[in-house]
Amino acid sequence: MLSNLGSILVFLILGLSLLIIYNAFLDIKNNNQTIKKNIYNLSLFQITFTIMSFFTLLAGFIFSDFSIINVYENSHTTKPLFYKVAGSWGNHEGSLLLWINILVLFSYLFLIFNHKHNKKFRLYTLIFQNFLILGFVIFLILNSNPFSSIFPVPLEGMGLNPILQDPALAIHPPLLYIGFVGCSIYFSAAIASILSEYNGKQFALAIKSWVYISWTFQTLGIIVGSIWAYYELGWGGFWFWDPVENASLLPWFAITALMHSVMVLEKRNTLYEWVIILCLLTFILSVTGTFLVRSGILNSVHTFANDPSRGLYILLFLSLMIFTSVIIFFKERKKESYDFNLNSKETFILTNNWFMIFFLATVLIGTLYPIFLDVLTNAKISVGPPFYNIVIIPLVIPLLFLMTLGPQFGWINSKKERLYKTLYVLVGAITINLFIFYFFENYGFYVNLILITATFLVLHSVLDAKKSFKSKKKFEFSRIISHLGFGLLVFFIGVNHQHSVEIDFNLKTGQKKKLDNYEIYFENVSIEQNKNYKSVIGRFEIIELKNKNIQYLSPEIRIYTNPETLTYEAAIKTRINSDLYLTMSNVSRSDFYNIKFQNKPLMIWVWISAFIIALGGLIQFIQKKNEN
C-alpha cells in the first residue's frame, strides 16, 4: 500500500519536472515581466508531492511496513522510534529521496523568494534545477527505488547497523545534505546567469543568502559528523583524513572561497567569472563526493552496500553536468577586465581564495591519488594524516595571520595608523603563547607558531567585535564571529594535539594501574539487557594524583542482536579543562580487558569554537534576510 503510494508520488514528481521545464521555456519567450501563474502552481504541486513521498517512506519506517524492501533491510520492530525515523535516511535509497526533497525545496524557495530579480534569470535557474531533479528522480526510479516492494512480506526486518544508531549520526546526513544539495541552486543560478546575461552585482545579490545558508549547514554537518566519530568510533580522534571525510571537505573549501568572493562581487562588481566558476565547482565537487562514496570506489564507514551500476549512473550524470556547464561557460562568457588596487580589501579577500584553492587541491590530490594509482598501475597505497599535516599545517600560519590583517583594510584603500594597534595585539599574542609554553613545558616549532597566530586572530577579533558593537556596523559582525571561531578552533586543536595523553594497557577486574598523573582502578563488570542490545559495562575509578580528584567512568561493550554486531562505547567525562576518554574491549579467551585511556585537554572548546564558526554564517544569513 505505502509502497504503491510512494512509487506513484515519485512518478508525479518526474512528470511535474518535465511540465515545469516545458512551461518555463514557453514563458521565457514572452516579453512580460512576471512569471506565469501556472509555473508557480506546478512548483507548489511538485514540492507538495515530494514532501509527501518522503513522509510515505517515513511512515513505512515508523509503522515497520516490511513489504517495502528498504524498510525490511534497514529497520526492525524493536528499534527505538528515533532510530526508525533516522533509518529512513540511513541507507542509500532513502538518502537519495532526501536528496531529491532538498533539490525540490530549494528550487521552490528560490522561485518564490526572488521576485525582485530578472525573470529570464529566474526561469533559467528553475529549468536547470529541474534538469537536476529529473536526473536524480530517474536515478531513483531506475536503480534505487526506496519504495520497491517485497513479497511474501517478511515478519521482521534486518535492523539498522548499530554504529549508525547514534543521535549525532541521525542528524548528520540531513544537515550535510542541506549543505551539499543546497549548492545545486547556485549551480543552476550560475548557468542561468550566463545564459540570461544577468550578471555582476545583481547575480551576487540573488545568490548570496543561498550561499550563506548552505555554507552554515555544510559546516554544521561536518562538525556533527566529527563529533560522532569522536564519541562512537572509540579512537578518541575527531578528524582522520579519511577519504570520505575529505569528500565532504572539498565542497566546503570551494564554498568558503565562494562566500568570500561573492562579497567582492557585490561590493565592487568584479570577479564575476571567478564567482561563476566557484558556483559550478562547489556543486560539481558535491556530486563527485557522492560518486566517490556511493560507487564503492572508496571503502569506509560511509559506503553503503556496493552496486557498480549505481556508480555508473552517478558518473554519467556527473559527466553530463560537468560538460554542459563547462561548454555553456566557455561559449557564453564575456571578457572581463580587472582593475585592482593591490592595497585594498578585495586583495585580502582574494588571498582567502588562494588558500582555499590550495587546501582544496591538496585534499583533492590526497583523496584521488590512491584511486588513480590503483587504476593506472595497480599499486595500492593510502594517503593518511602525515601527508596532510606536512602540507597543510605550515600554510595555516600565514592563513591565520592574513585572516587577522585582511579585514583591517578598507574596501578601496586603507590608513596606516591601524597598523600600530595590530602590532600591540601581536605582541600580546606572543606573550600569551609564552605563558602556555611555560605552563605545559612542551615545545613544538609549528605548534607554537600556530598558537601565536591563532591567539593573534582571536584577540584581534575580540577587539573588532567591541568596535563594531560601538559603531553599530553590523555587517562586520558575522565575519568577526566566524573568524574568531576559526582562531579559537585552531588554537584549541593546537593545544589539544600537543598535550593529549594516550595510553593502552590490559587490566583485570579488581586490578589497579598507575600512570604518571593518574591511577586507574577497574572496580567491576556488570551486564545489562536493553531493548535491542545487551551491554557489558565496566566501572572504573580514575584518581588524578595531582589534586586527588576522583572520577567514575563506565565504558560499554554492546552486543546488538539485529544485525549481530559488537560495538565499543567510549566513556567520556567532559569537563571545562579536559576530557577523560576511556574505552574497553574484551581480550578473547582471557579475563583481561584491553583499556585505552586518554586525557584530551580543552576538547569541549574545540566543538564550541567550531559551532561559533557556523554561527557566523547563520548571523550573516539572518542579516541578509532582514535587509531584503
Partner 1 sequence: MKINFFKIIIFSFITFFLLVFWLGLKKDNSYNTTNLIGNKISSFQLASIHNSDLISDELLKQNEFTLINIFASWCAPCRLEHKYLIKLANQNRNVKILGINFKDKKNNALNFLNKLGNPYNFVAEDLDGKASILFGTYGVPESILVDKELTIIKKIIGPIGQRQFEEILKLTQ
Residues lying near partner 1 in the complex (CB under 8 A) are found at 291, 295-297, 299, 308, 311-312, 315, 318-319, 322-323, 326, 330, 368, 371-372, 374-376, 588-589
What one-character DSSP code corresponds to residue 521?
Answer: E
Number of other CB atoms surrounding residue 390 within 10 Å: 10
Going through 366-494 in order, the beta strands assigned E by DSSP cover none
Q: Which is nearer to partner 1, 318 or 622 (CB)?
A: 318
Question: 32 or 588, CB closer to partner 1?
Answer: 588
The smaller minimum CB distance to partner 1, of residues 331 and 415, is found at 331
Q: Considering the complex, state which of residue 154 and residue 296 has its C-beta at the smaller distance from partner 1.
A: 296
List Cα–Cα distances, 309 to 99, 148, 294, in angstroms. Answer: 19, 17, 10
Going by their DSSP bridges, the two strands 549-553 and 565-569 should be labelled as unpaired
3-state secondary structure of 468: helix
The residue (of 337 and 378) whose beta carbon lies closer to partner 1 is 378
In the complex, the smallest distance separating the C-beta of residue 195 from partner 1, rounded to whole angstroms, is 19
For residue 552, the cross-strand partners are: 541
Q: How far is the CB of 318 from partner 1 (least distance, A)?
A: 7
Identify which of residues 374 and 504 has a Cβ nearer to partner 1 in the complex. 374
CB of 279 to partner 1, least distance (A): 17
**154 neighbors 72 (Cβ within 8 angstroms):** yes
- Which amino acid appears at position 368 of this protein? L
Phi, psi of 389 (to 5 degrees): -60, -45
Which DSSP state fits 588?
A: T
Joined together, the cell numbers standing for residue 331 give 561559449
Rounded Cα gap, residues 475 and 57, in angstroms: 42
Q: Which is nearer to partner 1, 142 or 371 (CB)?
A: 371
CB of 246 to partner 1, least distance (A): 16
Q: Are 223 and 607 in contact (CB under 8 A)?
A: yes
Distance CA 218, CA 184 (A): 13
Cell numbers at residue 188, please?
543552476
Cβ 357 to partner 1, closest distance in Å? 15
CA distances from 257 to 215, 264, 307, 347 (A): 10, 11, 34, 13
Complex with partner 1: residue 95 or 295, whichever CB lies closer: 295
Taking the complex as a whole, the smallest distance from the CB of residue 100 to partner 1 amounts, in Å, to 23
Tell me the three cell numbers of residue 543.
584518581
